[in-house]
Amino acid sequence: MKKLTLTNNNIKPVGRTYYFEDALWSAFSGTGAEFDFEGKTLYVTLLADKSADEEAKENVARYGVYVNGERVCEGTLNERVTKLTVINSEQPVKARVQIIKLSECAMSTMGIDSLETDDDASITPAPVRERKIEFIGDSITCGYGVDDEDPLHHFKTSTEDCTAAYAYKAARALDADYSLVSISGYGIISGYTGTAEEKITDQLVPPYYPTLGFSYKSFADKLAPEDIPWDFKQFVPQAIVINLGTNDDSYCLDHEDRQRDYADNYKIFLKVVREKNPDAFIFCGVGIMGTRIYKALEMAVNEYKAETGDERVLAHCFKEHDAEKDGLVADYHPIRKSHDNACAEIAPIIKDTMGW
């Protein structure tokens, strides 16, 4: 058997990842590694952070491993080190392998420590897709609670799966490499508030957009993702979808001054996204969990375009998911069917706009 440390020479990083102490570390949803394997045996060793030391195990990272598009391993990192048998065959096989962090950044991080194979096996990076797309969002993009069909239940990493969410599905439908930048409960000017009396200013996505993410844990218990700048040259998307405003709406409600605040800060964030991605087309959407704040978003986009002359920006109001007809999952979030519907709505718009 031979043991391989992950490098760009043998794997393709997926999303915003970071090499540290001979492991590839992930924070944001959907991050990980993708490679082509030819051989008989493949073991993958994953690393947890301090979340694995907590007794409840409700914040540990959730992972999925795919072979030729089929999920063959899944679970949560309840131990500091987890070794998985991914392929064990008497005859050599050829396979596309993906190792994906299914849960979001805030609660925990994940490291891919090593790959172990038979001596004759080969591992090479998966081809880079021609199309690249980035999604910036909140719990909807994270796939919050999709595996818990009781809307009265609350957050657990074990019921979160970004691959069931509209963003990941849209990237796959468009045959695009993707990057997800999303944190549940976070917004443009305020995180989610049940009272609408207090602006939650420490739960905002824009401050973490230029970084590897935000987490209450650290890579190898040493490096906080939010302290590591992201190199925007590593992944250059042709299209970007921003879906932020659902949590802000819990604060803004129908208050015109609060909606004005949201619109002004949305414009500021748009300028940051444009600065980091000068050639991308930017789609600005909201509405899957409520459309009330869309008028403020549309106002922000129109004013941004007027102020900057930047016409490569489009506002889109998603159809609100039909909770009464289709049902809900944890904390009243969209079920898989609702994500399928949102994917079927946005993917053709992206395809037509981009000429894909």
pLDDT category of residue 26 using cuts at 50, 70 and 90: very high
Residue pLDDT, tens place only, 196-218 = 779 999 999 999 999 999 999 99
Look at residue 184 in the predicted model and tell me its pLDDT. Answer: 97
Calculate mean pLDDT across residues 131-157.
94
> Six-digit token pair at 56?
């409840």
Residue 324 has pLDDT above 90, yes or no: no
Calculate mean pLDDT across residues 32-50.
98
- 42 forms bridges with which residues in the sheet? 87, 117
Residue pLDDT, tens place only, 60-80 = 999 999 999 999 999 999 999
Distances (CA, A) of 333 to 151, 162, 273: 7, 13, 27
Look at residue 63 in the predicted model and tell me its pLDDT. Answer: 98
* Continuous H helices in 193-278: 246-252, 256-276
Nearest CA-CA partner of 331 in 137, 160, 75, 77? 160
This model's pTM is above 0.75: yes
Calculate mean pLDDT across residues 51-66.
95
Calculate mean pLDDT across residues 304-328.
93
Burial class (CB in 10 A: 0-12, 13-18, 19+), 202: exposed
pLDDT category of residue 322 using cuts at 50, 70 and 90: confident
Calculate mean pLDDT across residues 324-353.
93
Report yes or no: 159 and 103 within 8 Å, Cβ to Cβ.
Answer: no
pLDDT category of residue 284 using cuts at 50, 70 and 90: very high
Residue 195 has pLDDT above 90, yes or no: no
Residue 151 has pLDDT above 90, yes or no: no
Look at residue 329 in the predicted model and tell me its pLDDT. Answer: 85
Q: Output the 3-class SS for 51-96.
A: HHHCCCCCCCCEEEEEECCEEEEEEECCCCEEEEEEEEEEEEEEEE
Report yes or no: 170 and 131 within 8 Å, Cβ to Cβ.
Answer: no
Block residue for tokens 């957050």: 155
Cβ atoms within 10 Å of 344's Cβ, excluding its own: 13
What size, in residues, is the chain? Answer: 356
pLDDT category of residue 292 using cuts at 50, 70 and 90: very high
What percent of the chain stands above pLDDT 90? 93
Look at residue 255 in the predicted model and tell me its pLDDT. Answer: 96
Calculate mean pLDDT across residues 81-108.
97
Domains and CATH numbers, the chain: 2-125 (2.60.120.260), 131-354 (3.40.50.1110)
Look at residue 283 in the predicted model and tell me its pLDDT. Answer: 98
Handedness of CA 336, 209, 30, 190 (dihedral sign): negative
